[in-house]
Structure 1
Amino acid sequence: MGISKFFQRSKDSRPGGRNSDKQGARDNRPSPTPTLLEETSSSAAAVPLQATEPPVPATPGILSATAHPITPPSTEDAPSLWNRAYEALRNEDPQLVDRYEKLLSRELEGMPPQGDGLDDTQNRIDSNPNKRHGQLKEITYRGLQRADEKHIKYTLFGHDFVLKDQVAQAGRFIQTVKTLVNEAVKVSPEASLAWAGVCVLLPVLTNPSAAEEANRDGLSYVTSRIRYYTELERLLWPENLVKPGLKEEFDGHSVELYQHILEFQIKTVLRFYQRWLATASRDAIRYDDWEGMLSKIKQLEQIVREESSTINTIASQKALQDIDMAASQHYNAMQSLLSIAKDHLGVSIEHRDISTEQLAELKLQRFVSLRSAIDPY
């Protein structure tokens, strides 16, 4: 069941309308909630005001303000979505991933290859995700640093590349890519899976023909979107939104999107290597359906975008429910205090009336005593 369908069903299944709920509350006002005033204050202050929709009844599966907090399943030991996507791509197309890792291994070795073919290259990329991240991070930043040196001749994947022509404002182009990479990798180190090979090829991409080719086939678009999705993964799912089924489905669609992004980036790197660096045509593998791959990525983007919009709506309503509940707790606490104060006022009035009666009685007794003393008869 999709996230949007779940959300719609949850809305339809709410008992009664909003007006009937309010009318019921007026007819049968609940007793004060036994919550400390300090607790309600802190719960209200902790909720960000990020939406303007009126509060709605709690959605099934989502925490309410008075429920005991449910701790989401720990994701510290779970593989990242990028790692899951990378392994899914390896299972689906092991030859593609192996060729890519062999190509990256040439950057780690720093030695000229014996030939253009990758069959004789040893795969030095570690299968352990943490160690692999370190290797890819090294390749990524080495590529960024090299592109910033503004040389004419570069050694890329063990091959010499002579930059005969450059696009206008090539320095700004490289700086833009550096900013994207630095911020994306800082947020999600696993995103280096998608960046490493592209960063090595940066000098090639400043060539006018290569730049036009990259833009035409969608590399510019896909590369610019990677940072967005690294931020999305980190920010989207609120800690107070607990619904494992929805989380798993959203993660599944994100992994599928990441897998296609990685496939696109890897095939692009291999194609540019064959087109601009390698000279042996026997090693070339053609990937012609660039438009189809780009279309699939955009299709998956739309799915993730719609689901993220639904999740944001649920999260906003959850925040408003928390605010509404905290306000109700404040109101009930204040009503309780006012009731006590009213009782105290009633007692004070009774004491005042008794004192007034006693004073009047005392005055009457004094008057009678004085009159008896003056006129005993």
Structure 2
Amino acid sequence: MTRSSIKQASAPPLKRSEDPQVQVISPKLENVPIRQLWNVAYETLRQEDAALIEEYENKLQGSVVAGLSDNLQSKVNIQERMWAILQSKMDNVNKNKLKFGSSKVTVEDVSKLLLNVVNSANSFISQAVSASPPASIAWAGVSFLLPLFMNISAQSIALAEGLAYISSLIAQSQMREELYNKRYELQIGNHEDFQQSHHEYKAALERLYRQILKFQAKSCCYYSNTSALRHTLDAVNWNGWDQLVNDVREREKSFTAIEGLWRDMQNLEERLATESAESKKEREELLAWLLKSLGGGKELLAPYFGFMGKPALGNPF
């Protein structure tokens, strides 16, 4: 579907989220579910640059059919709005074949990169475990840029590479979130002794997410400008694109450094948990043996072992 075939919406701008979980940014990131960091990053970016986010949301809304645009106004949660936009944009992408310029040298390379992005976005939609997942905030921007880049030029290899890179980071974030959720969030009280390390890890991840969203917002606002698309060479050589990609790469480096330390903390945390479990098992085995030796005299050992728990007064021997 081409831009001219879409009935542009004239509805008012998207309203800011009124969901308390999204709007109120907790200073204690260790208590924020890791999948909600996309929400935190988006609302923090809104606070940093309200004009950019307003323009970005207007561009997103203006790129969908009128019926969906009207429906977006009834969705309070930003996740729901982005999820609806993502599904609509990807439906449009999947229905239309990739269109490139006449150059045969780079068409194949560009198409491969963009097809990988399309497959990643489709995979996210098909494997979503909940309605309106938070990461749809990130994928919505990707789905907005896809059709624009498909129609720019076969010379846009740099644009395709940049979009593929951003998409890979978003896909990686889903794996990190899944691992973290299963390791910590599904097991209550499983990281109480390492609150600070969890805070630093999530803070670094949120900053990376925010940089990705900033990249998308600025890119979408620039490339949705018809005058920019009319001058393909200017679009491909836009200095802002390289700077935005480099900013994300620098933020990724910072996160990777913290992630390395985070893995060391994970190993320490798991080792201490194992040692604690082994110590408890040894105490229980010793208590069982003593009870058997004393003929079940629990009252003699209670002050020391608290009945199968941690010794209350210390080792009696």
Cα displacement (A) at 1:86: 1.6
Contact 1:184 1:226 in 2 (8 A): no
**In proportion to residue count, which structure has more helix?**
2
- In structure 2, give the amino acid aligned to 1:295: N
Residue 51 of structure 2 aligns with an amino acid whose one-letter code is: Q
Which whole-Å CA distance do the structure 1 matches of 2:37 and 2:291 have between them? 56
Q: Does 1:93 align with 2:30?
A: no
Q: Quote the residue 2:174 is aligned against.
A: 230
Aligned length: 247
CA contact (8 A) 2:64 2:88 kept: no
1-structure distance, mates of 2:216, 2:134: 14
TM-score when normalising by structure 1: 0.53
Q: Percent identity?
A: 23
* Structure 1 residue 261: Cα displacement: 0.7
In structure 1, distance between residues paired with 2:111 and 2:243: 31
Post-superposition Cα deviations, 1:7-58, rounded to whole Å, max 9, x if no partner, equal xxxxxxxxxxxxxxxxxxxxxxxxxxxxxxxxxxxxxxxxxxxxxxxxxxxx
In 1, Cα distance between the equivalents of 2:207 and 2:30? 22
Cα offset, 1:298, TM superposition: 2.0
Distance in structure 2 (CA, Å) of the matches to 1:168 and 1:86: 34
From the superposition, tell whether residues 270 and 137 of structure 1 become closer, same or farther in structure 2 (CA, over 3 Å).
Answer: same
The CA RMSD measured in Å over matched residues stands at 3.9
C-alpha contact 1:101 1:124 (8 A) present in aligned 2: no
**How much has 1:175 moved relative to structure 2?**
4.8
Give, in angstroms, the shift of residue 268 of structure 1: 2.0
Are positions 1:144 and 2:90 aligned together? yes
Distance in 2, Cα, partners of 1:322 & 1:206: 51
Q: Which moved more, 1:200-209 or 1:257-266?
A: 200-209
Distance 1:101 1:287 in 2: 22
Give the corresponding residue for 2:154. Answer: 209
Quote how far apart the aligned CAs of 1:341 are.
4.8
In structure 2, C-alpha distance between the alignment counterparts of 1:262 and 1:73, rounded to whole Å: 21
The one of 237, 252, 274 equivalent to 1:323 is: 274
Q: 1:310 to 1:179 in 2, by over 3 A?
A: same
- Change in CA separation of 1:232 and 1:149 when aligned onto 2, cut-off 3 Å: same
**Distance of 1:179 and 1:297 partners within structure 2:** 22
Q: Take 1:172 and 1:295, find their aligned partners in 2: how far apart are those partners?
A: 22
CA distance in 1 between counterparts of 2:247 and 2:112 reads 30
- Asked if residue 260 in structure 1 is aligned to residue 211 in structure 2, the reply is yes
Report the TM-score, using the length of structure 2 for normalisation.
0.62
The residue that corresponds to 2:312 in the other structure is none
Query: Which residue number in structure 2 is paired with residue 301 of structure 1?
Result: 252
- Describe the SS at the equivalent of 2:95: coil
Q: Is contact 2:75-2:81 (8 Å) kept?
A: no
**1:124/1:272 CA distance change after superposition, 3 Å:** farther
Q: What pairs up with 1:1-377 in 2 under 5 angstroms?
A: 75=32, 80-110=36-66, 130=77, 132-151=78-97, 165=102, 167-168=107-108, 175-184=115-124, 186=128, 189-207=133-151, 208-209=153-154, 211-215=156-160, 218-236=162-180, 238-239=184-185, 240-242=190-192, 243-274=194-225, 288-341=239-292
Provide the C-alpha distance between the structure 2 equivalents of 1:82 and 1:127, rounded to a whole number of angstroms. Answer: 21
Gaps of 5+ in 2: 1-28, 296-317
Larger RCO: 1 or 2 (CA < 8 Å, sep 6+): 1
Q: Please give the alpha-carbon distance, in whole angstroms, between the structure 1 residues aligned to 2:158 and 2:71.
A: 30
User: Structure 1, residues 182-232: CA drift from partner, whole Å, max 9, x if none?
Assistant: 44462682222222243134334335536414046x332122211112332
Residue 181 of structure 1 and its aligned partner are, at CA, apart by: 2.0
Amino acid at match of 1:235: L
